[in-house]
A and B are shown apart, each in its own frame.
Chain A
């Protein structure tokens, strides 16, 4: 089966199943159901809201198949495995479990009640519905986690650089990177800020704050090791940024202009984020969430190779599948 179809099936299946279960329950209980149905219950478990059977079925269909469709459409355009989107998939499974159980138990509560107003549904049913949602959500998480491969094909993965390490050999790559731009901005903001504070104006304080953050980022150390990647200010404990190894899918390196990454400093763009010190050699990480993180640093090729090697060592199964 093509990966796209398989993914679509995995994502849409719980909604279709939940819908089928509710419709089957409705068909099975048809003769014993009142019309209208009791569809809302107060805190004491007694019915206080009613819906006709036709409208009930329409709502069930619209909610279950509609939300299934809403989740399905974006997955058709996915270029990566579902693993990166496993939270969304698990959410979909949980939601279909919750709704499927809620609708079906509603029908069961209505069955055999001569009039809908006599139907009752105790509050603990909500607990069971949530438990059903949790079980389905866990199932969705597991199913999505199995789909780690990239839809772009194995070429992209094998092309990623590697750094041969002996078994048990430990390696750390570290490099400092300076930013003349951030240093200048830091100085330009801090000095007038200090002058303003000195003459008794409160407006200087935010300037100093911004300036010091820029200055702290003006020189950073980027470290890649068995734990992942850390970018930390050269002399101050903060700000620092850490991405654990298990949240990184793979790494590459290429030249990048600061403006193409959105400017200098910490930038957030549509597809991800970047720490930009200067134009030039940059390390690009594809994260498990499907987003991208970039940091401009010299000799990024070695960093990328080491990261890919460590990821592969950490997750041999995922590496073999790719």
Chain B
């Protein structure tokens, strides 16, 4: 898979890194059970701090896309990560569009809640 980070972008490096992985899981480049490169090695490779990589991995773990195990590193989880990654990309798209329209966070949440309540 391809990791890319642009220090010139306004998006934090850790989020860019997480987005690379999310995209790779969503398009099937990275399959369930596959192991991501060790944080230290990836940091050296990209020229970014190892903590930045770990923050990115942590983010993916919170999203339920990967598992972080001591000694085993970051592994893509077996529980439908592809569909989950696509959903997360959809959420990101929703947030981006809402921000572009100038909606407040509360307005976005209300929209989503209304939809969820409506079934």
Which residues of A line the B interface, CB within 8 A?
Answer: 163, 165-176, 221, 223, 225-227, 299, 302, 306
Q: Which of B3-11, B77-85, B104-112 contacts A (4 or more CB under 8 A)?
A: B3-11
Which residues on the A side are within 8 Å of B55 (C-beta)?
none
Interface size class of B (residues with CB under 8 A): 10 to 19
* Interface flag for B114 (CB, 8 Å): no
Closest Cβ of chain B to A241, distance in Å, is 15
Ranked nearest first, the 8 interchain pairs of A and B with the lowest CB-CB distance are A169-B6, A171-B4, A225-B45, A172-B45, A172-B3, A170-B46, A173-B2, A172-B46
List 11 additional contacts besides A168-B6, A171-B4, A173-B3; criterion CB under 8 Å.
A165-B4, A169-B4, A169-B7, A170-B47, A170-B48, A171-B5, A174-B37, A223-B37, A223-B41, A226-B45, A227-B45
Taking a contact as CB atoms under 8 Å apart, the answer to whether B29 and A168 are in contact is: no
Contact of A176 among B4, B7, B35, B45 (CB under 8 A): B35
Give 7 CB contacts A-B under 8 Å.
A166-B9, A169-B4, A169-B7, A170-B48, A171-B4, A172-B4, A172-B45
- B8-38 vs A, Cβ < 8 Å mask (1 yes, 0 no): 1100000000000000000001000011010
User: How many Å lie between the Cα of A223 and that of B44 in the bound state?
Assistant: 12
Closest Cβ of chain B to A304, distance in Å, is 12
Closest Cβ of chain A to B41, distance in Å, is 8
Contact of A166 among B2, B8, B37, B41 (CB under 8 A): B8
Contact of B7 among A163, A168, A306 (CB under 8 A): A168
* Interface flag for B95 (CB, 8 Å): no
* Interface flag for B98 (CB, 8 Å): no
User: How many Å lie between the Cα of A172 and that of B45 in the bound state?
Assistant: 7
User: How many Å lie between the Cα of A306 and that of B1 in the bound state?
Assistant: 11
- Shortest Cβ distance from B47 into A: residue: A170
Which residues on the B side are within 8 Å of A168 (C-beta)?
6-8
